[in-house]
Structure 1
Amino acid sequence: MAESSRLSDVRRIAVLRPNAVGDFVFSLPCLHALKAAYPQARITYIGRQWHADLLTGRPGPIDEVEVIPPTPGVGLPPDAEVDTRRVEDFVARMQARHFDIALQIFGGGHYSNPFVTRFGARLTAGMRAPGAAALDRSVHYGPMQNRRLQMLEVTGLVGAGMVDMGGAPDLRATDADRREADAVLTPVPGRRLAVLQPGSTDRRRCWSPERFAAVGDALSDAGLLVAVNGTDAEAPVVRAVIERMRTPAVDLSGRLSLSGLCGLLDRASLLVSNDTGPLHLGLALGTPAVGIYWLTNLIESGALRQEGHRPALSVQVHCPVCGEENLTSRCAHDESFVDRVGIEHVIGLAMDLLREGKTAGRTARSAT
């Protein structure tokens, strides 16, 4: 939609997207577009507590974060039992903000569209699946759609176009991020750092530990220090990778907050990762990265900027256990759908990034 779709005298904008890390990163292009179109407006991101922890005081398009309470249908099952008084108090606070624009970019809108409409904004816009409640302006929501482009379409509904970042990253690391990372991994001038991310909340998207170990050894042989990252829950898979390596690697499982991970990725020369939050966080920070994707995930989560991004793609659609097609349904098995991605292919993509100088602008700091 053209610039003529812009509202006049816009002072407050609400954006609803209380998702996980990768989902938040997908929204950054549309958030930058909003800020560019309405530079005087205060953008309120309605998310989770981790959004507030990561974004409060961080340079970028978001001015403040409001933490949504547990709300049926908006991050919880529709029949979830919650403290309804907290939900009503939250809605009343949002109504008191007198938003000019309220955007729903959380999902199809069956529950989130009515929720956003209750804020009483001058204009509502967002995504709408078939049968969902109407907003003032909306774009179709369905499967097999690139979510970043889709959210840019939403901002287009209010007259905001994609912003040329001029090579700048979508997300900026802070000094606090770097201090935390440096406290965990002491920088050593001149030695480059590679980060492996072998975990994911969906085990079907996980490349096996022995494959990550082989990549780690190749990077170590090339002179990089290898660190393997994961949450506390992912510690077993992190250890499995390190135990299978013939060269030393650093175990980072559970040692970094999200802020500290930003600091680490900001100085990493390379990231090799499953399709999970840290991959998209690294790409947003400008970290050269090889992502291991399953077919539908690359369609929906593929980065808009391809500089420094190398996808390794699995097109397997049938479960390796039962043979059931998993594009339109999901079988009961959690076997990997990406293990057919070749080790040498991933190593080749990683070495290409290193050879092509995509890491030249990275901080020449690494860790011991």
Structure 2
Amino acid sequence: MPTVRALQRQWPDARITWIIGRGEHSLLAGLPGVEFVVYDKSTGLAGMRAIWRELRETPFDVLLHMQQSIRASVLSLGLKARVRLGYDRARAKDWQTWFTNRQLTPHPKAHVLESFMDFARELGVDDDRLEWGIPLPDAAREEARQFLAGRPALVISPCASPRLRNFRNWSAEGYAAVIEHAWRHHGLTTFLTGGTSAQEVEMCERIAAGLSEAVPVNLLGRTSLKGLLAIIDEARMVIAPDSGPVHMANAMNTPVLGLFATTNPERAAPWCWREHVVNRYPDAVATYLHKPLDEIVWGTRVRHEDAMSLITFEDVIHRLDALLALTADHEKSTRGVSHDV
């Protein structure tokens, strides 16, 4: 989003086509000045061919190959583009350089957001201020109002995407203790968000079983994606592991407390709130990879099921209390303001 905004500032009349997944499109629909072409990943090669047919009469000046996957690279083969800009060799994954004819200038140890903005810089954009401005329709705001019912909200999305060896989730017991603390000491009602996978349902059941006083609102599978964004927009704070909701909160300028141990927050933390994450990544690297940080490849994940247990309840409430105090007068009118990158 900030990259698209930067391109629009530089070239207001440019035609921007964004090939996007179905779920992501439901979040960004309504974005002015962008033509979305939706790709349903479940359709495989047939879906790619449909996109190729749709865009076969459209020659592009430049293709920004920002998604690193074989699927994205194969899809790019059917698009007519004079310049195919991808990552430099140090950052490229899944043989992406085979599918591009121009690479970004190297940028060692870049945050993911910085890597995205490097595409705009490579094209000559100087104004790289960060702006999001995701459209929120009235229906989404009404959805949020009905769920929140005027209650000061702490949004917790306890689970990252359920993928193979994706050990990013903290403990149910830890979340339960944080929910009790937020209720007793700050008067915050917790709203549990996420999907309806077995992992997420079980996690929220275990969280509820560990509570004695606070009563969270379970929103698993009950909101639209735009509705969830509106809830996050109204929330006092969001807590989540390295997952979509921390970046949704960042985009809406909602205070967010990210929980990091298996991924490096220097690379992937919510940008505007990166100084406030719980960071046990160095401890996880030392404990489970048996190396200091300066001896591992940038972006290395700690794929150990116990790594997130290095985060303690005290770590989280210390950050929670400090961030709530810091943002006590946090004004949502600052949403959409520019941030330096």
Instruction: Give the letter aligned to residue 291 of structure 1.
Output: G
Instruction: Give the letter aligned to residue 351 of structure 1.
Output: D
SS of match in other structure, 2:190: strand
Q: 2:189 aligns with which of 206, 225, 249?
A: 225
Matches within 5 A, 1:196-211: 196-201=156-161, 204-211=167-174
Assess if the C-alpha contact under 8 Å between 2:257 and 2:277 holds in 1.
yes
Assess if the C-alpha contact under 8 Å between 1:192 and 1:224 holds in 2.
yes
Match of 1:153 in 2: 118
Q: 1:116 and 1:171, CA in 2 relative to 1: closer, same or farther beyond 3 A?
A: same
Q: Does 1:30 align with 2:3?
A: yes
Shift of 1:262: 0.4
Which digits, 9 at most, give the CA deviation of each residue in 1:37-91, with x for residues without a partner? 22111221101112332222245xx612112254xxxxx8xxxx9555x533422
- Partners of 1:287 and 1:277 lie apart in 2 by 14
Assess if the C-alpha contact under 8 Å between 1:107 and 1:141 holds in 2.
no
Match of 1:238 in 2: 204
Match of 2:26 in 1: 53
Assess if the C-alpha contact under 8 Å between 1:279 and 1:289 holds in 2.
yes
- Partners of 2:120 and 2:220 lie apart in 1 by 37
Match of 1:123 in 2: 83
Match of 2:305 in 1: 335
Shift of 1:201: 2.2
Assess if the C-alpha contact under 8 Å between 1:239 and 1:251 holds in 2.
no
TM-score by length of 2: 0.80
Which digits, 9 at most, give the CA deviation of each residue in 1:260-284, with x for residues without a partner? 1101101001111111111111111
Shift of 1:358: 5.1
SS of match in other structure, 1:254: coil
Shift of 1:148: 1.2
Q: 1:144 and 1:357, CA in 2 relative to 1: closer, same or farther beyond 3 A?
A: closer
Match of 1:348 in 2: 318
Assess if the C-alpha contact under 8 Å between 2:19 and 2:36 holds in 1.
yes
Assess if the C-alpha contact under 8 Å between 1:275 and 1:297 holds in 2.
no
- Partners of 1:342 and 1:82 lie apart in 2 by 42
Match of 1:42 in 2: 15
Which digits, 9 at most, give the CA deviation of each residue in 1:1-29, with x for residues without a partner? xxxxxxxxxxxxxxxxxxxxxxxxxxx22
SS of match in other structure, 1:151: helix
Which digits, 9 at most, give the CA deviation of each residue in 1:155-193, with x for residues without a partner? 21111245335xx6553533222122223x1422xx421
Percent identity, aligned pairs only, is 23
SS of match in other structure, 2:239: strand
Structure 2 residues without counterparts, runs of 5 or longer: 334-341
Structure 1 residues without counterparts, runs of 5 or longer: 1-27, 71-75, 364-368
Which digits, 9 at most, give the CA deviation of each residue in 1:93-114, with x for residues without a partner? 2231222221100016x66446
Which consecutive segments of 4 or more residues in structure 1 shift more than 3 A? 81-84, 110-115, 140-145, 168-174, 316-320, 323-331
Match of 1:267 in 2: 234
SS of match in other structure, 2:265: helix
Match of 1:24 in 2: none
- Partners of 2:6 and 2:139 lie apart in 1 by 26
Instruction: Give the letter aligned to residue 44 of structure 1.
Output: T
Instruction: Give the letter aligned to residue 277 of structure 2.
Output: P
Match of 1:3 in 2: none
SS of match in other structure, 1:339: helix
SS of match in other structure, 1:271: strand
Shift of 1:123: 2.5
Q: Does 1:214 align with 2:177?
A: yes
42-51 or 111-120, which moves further after superposition? 111-120
Instruction: Give the letter aligned to residue 83 of structure 2.
Output: L
- Size of the aligned set, in residue pairs, is 314
Shift of 1:208: 0.3
Q: Does 1:97 align with 2:58?
A: yes
Q: 2:276 aligns with which of 310, 325, 348?
A: 310
Instruction: State the superposition RMSD in angstroms.
Output: 3.1
Which digits, 9 at most, give the CA deviation of each residue in 1:312-344, with x for residues without a partner? 011243698xx566967889x762312212212
- Partners of 2:44 and 2:262 lie apart in 1 by 37
Q: 1:141 and 1:217, CA in 2 relative to 1: closer, same or farther beyond 3 A?
A: farther
Q: 1:187 aligns with which of 111, 132, 149?
A: 149
Shift of 1:149: 1.0
Q: Does 1:282 align with 2:261?
A: no
Instruction: Give the letter aligned to residue 212 of structure 1.
Output: Y
Match of 2:336 in 1: none
Instruction: Give the letter aligned to residue 196 of structure 1.
Output: I
Q: 1:89 and 1:186, CA in 2 relative to 1: closer, same or farther beyond 3 A?
A: closer
Assess if the C-alpha contact under 8 Å between 1:103 and 1:116 holds in 2.
no
Q: 1:126 and 1:345, CA in 2 relative to 1: closer, same or farther beyond 3 A?
A: same
- Partners of 2:50 and 2:66 lie apart in 1 by 22
Q: 1:164 and 1:319, CA in 2 relative to 1: closer, same or farther beyond 3 A?
A: closer
Assess if the C-alpha contact under 8 Å between 1:29 and 1:162 holds in 2.
no
Assess if the C-alpha contact under 8 Å between 1:105 and 1:126 holds in 2.
yes
Assess if the C-alpha contact under 8 Å between 1:104 and 1:125 holds in 2.
yes
SS of match in other structure, 1:100: strand
